[in-house]
Amino acid sequence: MGNVTATPYPCHGLVIFYYFCLMKFKVKGPGKGIKVSVSLPGSKSIANRLLIIHALSGNPDPVGNLSDSDDTRALLLALTSASYEKNVGHAGTTMRFLTAYFAITPGKVLLTGSERMKERPIGPLVEALRKLGADITYKEKDGFPPLEINGKKLPGGEISIKSNVSSQFISALLMIAPRLENGLKIHLEGEQVSASYIRMTLELMRQYGADYLWVGNTIEVRPGTYSKGEYMVESDWSGASYWYSLALLDVMPAIALSSLHKDSLQGDSALADLFFSLGIVSEFEEDRVVLKKIANIHPGIFSYDFTNCPDIVQSMAVALCMANIPFHFTGTTTLRIKETDRIFALQEELKKLGFFLDSDPAGSFLSWERKVCEPEKAPLISTYHDHRMAMAFAPAAHLLGEISIDDPMVVTKSYPGYWEDMKNAGFQIEEI
């Protein structure tokens, strides 16, 4: 199954793991116009959903254009390995999706991850699965991984789940729904977070044979099977965000990005409209999009609700600060519980570049009102084991001249070829 077989770098051995963690890169900007063609990786969001749907379909053929990210490798390894223990490292999406998948797959597994993963809540998903009859036991702390799952057939039925924590809980339940004997009816309680990811899940399910109805706060999935047709992954719009940032910070960019669709299911495709409001036009061609700057537009304050595309907040925050454009972001609550507390991480690391960001304990907003401080002379950006921190901050070197990134190989979580693509764009990457 699938066409990626290597494991994520934390599983390659302690020597390699510590070498990567101790590594630092000095990133130097090209000092000239950026002209580059980039082959983006397959979408991690789509790849991980398709791998679950594909596994449930029983299709023996591989999924095409799979993401080469750590998350997807971890998911594929867990699906194909016969071992009792499944260690997903830092891969949150993988943990959530596999919890539901193994709940209906005969056999007993231990699903675990990194120390950070053991701090990320999974209680609402486990509670919902238990109501459907799943046999899941917490092995350490209630509400958190690791989990022992004794998979079996489940009858399905009707449940309620709070939808303001993580859309991944809901997607995990939805994808197994056609395989439940009576299907599944989910009532979503409260404000829906990242609804675009739920729609992505449902539309991918529909493409491969599932039947659903979404009315108001209720989603009903009828019992059935997934088809065994061709499974192909679109390129990653999240990965495009770093190149949109560079287009904004450059004078005359000409950046071509492969295999991005204007009518994409990915919520992060909002990038095209967001950056158009900042003077960056996206010219969609047959199998790529070309980014060009048509104007320097500096709105009084840039405001946007990122509820449906939280993964591009880091790119937007760094780019807007570097472009001296004040902003007020909402829809950012889930950033507190991602790979790290991304709001805290942005505040700490942008302070090193001279920017003071404001937020609140809940993370309901993130803003910069041109509050500044003295920047560090040789800033070293900490990544907090978060791939998006490394990739969001690297473009700042284009204006700063150079910037250093700690633990830079964390990018393998979603975009393993990122540093090579930056080199192709004229950046100098030096290990220090």
What amino acid positions are annotated as catalytic residues?
311
Cα(99)–Cα(82) distance, integer angstroms:
16
Q: What is the mean pLDDT of residues 287-307?
A: 91
**Helix (DSSP H) and strand (DSSP E) numbers for the chain:** 14, 20
pLDDT attached to residue 44: 87
Quick one: what percent of the chain has pLDDT higher than 90? Answer: 78
**pTM for the full predicted model:** 0.77
Tens of pLDDT, residue by residue over 396-430, are: 999 999 999 999 999 988 899 999 999 999 999 99
If 0-12 CB within 10 Å is exposed, 13-18 middle and 19+ buried, where does residue 261 land? middle
pLDDT attached to residue 193: 66
Domain annotation for the chain: domains and CATH numbers: 32-41+234-297 (3.30.110), 44-221 (3.65.10.10)
Cis peptide before 361 (omega within 30 of 0): no
Tens of pLDDT, residue by residue over 299-331, are: 789 999 999 899 999 999 999 999 999 999 999
**What is the radius of gyration, based on Cα positions, of the chain?**
21
Helix (H, G, I), strand (E, B) or coil at 284: strand
Write out the DSSP string of 38-75: E-PPBPHHHHHHHHHHHHHHT--SPPBT---SHHHHHH
Cα(316)–Cα(241) distance, integer angstroms:
8
Q: Is the pLDDT of residue 338 over 50?
A: yes
Within 8 A by CB and 6+ apart from 88, the residues are 74, 75, 78, 94, 95, 98, 111, 112, 113, 117
Tens of pLDDT, residue by residue over 260-283, are: 988 898 989 999 999 999 999 999
